[in-house]
């Protein structure tokens, strides 16, 4: 999903000018980022949740040289899909496979 995709959906749904829809999409993305920064989590019912997870410091290998490299601790944002999204995605996948078999 991209900002342009969100803008296009807003333009079609709300019949507003593209410039205003682009601004609205940017504001939605900024609000989601702010919520994740403040609480470490953002949930959309029937879609899923974005959750901040801490990553520990570790040692990795450089694939070219095989040399050990220290990797600092950090954080990453993970997405966990809701059960209804998983069901819908699975149904869509099965439908696509059936369609591919027909062709």
pLDDT, tens only, 55-68:
999 999 999 999 99
Q: What's the chain's average pLDDT? A: 93
30-42: average pLDDT: 95
Answer for the pair 92, 84: CB distance below 8 angstroms, yes or no: no
7 vs 101: which has the higher pLDDT = 7
* 56 CB-near residues (< 8 Å, 6+ apart): 73
Cα–Cα distances in angstroms (integers) from residue 64 to residues 59, 67, 69, 70, 72, in the given order: 15, 8, 12, 15, 20
- CATH fold for the domain made of 40-102: HU Protein; Chain A (4.10.520)
Residue 99 has pLDDT above 90, yes or no: no
- Whole-number Å distance between alpha carbons of 59 and 31: 35
Residue 1 has pLDDT above 90, yes or no: no
The percent of residues above 70 in pLDDT, for the chain, comes to 99
Residue 27 has pLDDT above 80, yes or no: yes
Residue 25 has pLDDT above 80, yes or no: yes
Determine the pLDDT at residue 8: 93
């Amino acid at each position: 999903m991209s900002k342009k995709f969100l803008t296009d959906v807003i333009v079609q749904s709300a019949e507003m000018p593209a410039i205003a829809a682009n601004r609205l999409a940017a504001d939605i993305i900024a609000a989601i980022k702010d919520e994740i920064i403040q609480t470490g989590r953002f949930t959309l019912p029937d879609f899923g949740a974005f959750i901040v997870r801490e990553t520990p410091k570790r040692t990795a290998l450089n694939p070219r040289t095989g040399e050990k490299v220290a990797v600092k601790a950090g954080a990453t944002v993970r997405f966990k899909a809701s059960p209804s999204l998983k069901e819908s995605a699975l149904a869509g996948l099965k439908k696509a496979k059936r369609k591919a078999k027909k062709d």
